[in-house]
Amino acid sequence: MITSMVFFPTKEFSLKPESFGLAADDVWCETKDGVRIHGWFLQSKNPTLYLLFFHGNADNISIRLPKVKEWVSRGISVLLVDYRGYGKSGGEIKHGNDICMDAQAALKWLLEKKNSNPSDIILYGESIGAVPAIELATKEKFKAIILEAPFTSLKELAKHHYGMAPDLLLKDFLLDSESKISQIKSPVFVLHGTDDEVVPFSMGKRLFEKAPEPKQFFEIKGAHHNDISLVGGKDFFERPFQFAVNS
């Protein structure tokens, strides 16, 4: 029941890389529990850094292509991956830790296939994607970590929307970023819309306050959960980009 309330995967790709002038290589990586995860690797012209992108809970990697194009145009190569059950990825999400295992498999591919180091990698967590991004960042020091509209924990988010959050139902889906963010080893950039109707602005602000230095917060006035990049405009991409490359 929890998975159907939290995760909304789509199999079909609604957008294609070539429509944005992007060339994408198919990536397949295997998780520790044997699930094949699919993604796209998009090479920039001047690949000195990599962005590892973990998307939100709805649709799949295809609708993130407009965001990815902005990073590739700035000289950052991007690995964009689908969680299990999304897009072409196999399996299905049964436990909150599944998306973290998927993220670990994607990181392993990037480190091994591109001969990269954590110091060359920027982690990007979009909404629920902040959960695996933060988890990885507690274990290694990356170039930077960017969190777009992150929530504190699934339990608190459920209480906000439904007025209740039974511990028995959520025991396998803690998704508790608030308890971990102080442990991360990388520079932190947080973006959040003031009018976010899905993840309250106060959650992103609280995570930012508990994150270690160096860090920066970008408050996007009037932005909701799904129009944050449009309302933020050029600064939505340029400010975290400048923060990351200069960290």
Catalytic annotation, residues: 127, 196, 225
- Alpha-carbon dihedral of residues 124, 233, 245, 18, nearest 10 degrees? 70
Residue appearing with tokens 């274990």: 139
Q: What φ, ψ does residue 217 adopt, rounded to 5°?
A: -120, 130
In whole angstroms, give the CA distance from residue 27 to residue 25.
Answer: 6
Paired residues of 30 in beta bridges:
36
In whole angstroms, give the CA distance from residue 5 to residue 9.
Answer: 11
Q: Evaluate whether 204 touches 150 at the Cβ level (below 8 Å).
A: yes
> What residues contact 54, with CB distance under 8 A and at least 6 apart?
81, 99, 103, 106, 123, 124, 125, 126, 129, 130, 132, 133
Residue 124 CB coordination number (10 Å): 28
Nearest partner of 99 among 130, 78, 138, judged by Cα: 130
